[in-house]
Amino acid sequence: MENETARSETLIGLTAHYSPSGQEGEAAAWLTARMLALGYTRAFIDAAGNAVGILGSGPRQGILLGHIDTVPGKLPVHVSDGILHGRGAVDAKGPLACFTDAVAQIGAVPGWQFVVIGAVEEERDSTGARFAAGQYTPEFAVIGEPNRWERIALGYKGTAWAEIEVHTPETHSASGAVTACEAAVALWQQIQGFCTEHNAAQTRVFDQLLPTLRGFTSGQEEFAQWARLRVGVRLPPAFSPQQWYAKLEEICGTTAASINAAVTPLGAAIPAWTCDKNTPLVRAFLAGIRAQAGTPAFVYKTGTADLNIVAPAWNCPTLVYGPGDSALDHTPHEKISLHEYLQGVEVLKTALTKLTQP
């Protein structure tokens, strides 16, 4: 167990540097210094604040992109019985440290350069990934998210947010007229009803529309009432953000003439993304998992990740990999087994070696 702790120094050190979105600077500085100590050719913090390490100088490029930020909520960092506890141990410093150590242990490969990126702000608006998407032209990319060491993720759902604002004339409470709040609730029920109908034909959750109501405010002015809904959705590959907004507009258009309902998109909507399963990249990871006596499995996630940002831009074989139990993401119980972490490092070493060998 002491040996596992010593071999997990990158993971433990990175986790010890608390880095909620917007406060990644200290962790990024620590990671780039660690990369140089491990023998990386170059390590630096780029214009977006991402921690970047490059090992090798060949013209062919493979990228391993994780994220260095976490959700807020500082947790005590400690190792107990081979388990590392702390914010980010799973999501997603486990995968990022795994990338860092695996590349360092492989070393320079003739003709290739490995680029390891600790992206900032993944938990907010993916500022780091959006910047990195325009900086590199890799032949393959691995995105770091926890899905357990023996599993490969091949898809993440999209996401879209909107505000729906409803206005109705001011009336006496005894009039029986529909209030703005009642009209807003009815619209939300219609949205739910549409999604339920759509999902009835979809056996996989990955292919379903998953709406969520995350805000409800209301008030009144001199001659009008208003209510606002903040509505989000997790989108499957077959349903684009544009289709979702069009459906919301259609639903809002069914209200009575006395009710005015308007849809305003919020933030940058992100389409779903699925990775090709039949690639040398996937086969290399299958071999890496089997080499560690694991039984490989594929997963398709209901969340959204930096995969959705960089994969369309890089247009190369891509997958998502990383040790850790994603059920612990964002919870006060975040922890990762050092043994699983080191298995992930070995999987990566085997996979990357197969991908870059002559």
Give the residue numbers marked as catalytic: 69, 122
Residue among 282, 293, 284, 279 nearest 350 (CA): 284
Exposed e or buried b for every residue in 288-300, given b needs 16+ CB within 10 A? bbeeeebeeeeeb
Q: Say how far residue 164 (Cα) sits from the centre of its chain.
A: 26
SS3 per residue for 203-241? CCHHHCCEEEEEEEEEEECCCEEEEEEEEEEEECCCCCH
- List for the chain the helix, strand, coil content (%; round to 5): 35, 30, 35
The first and second tokens of residue 66, run together, are 């994780």
How far the first Cα of the chain sits from its last, in Å, is 36
DSSP character for 202? Answer: -
Helix count and strand count (H, E) for the chain: 10, 16
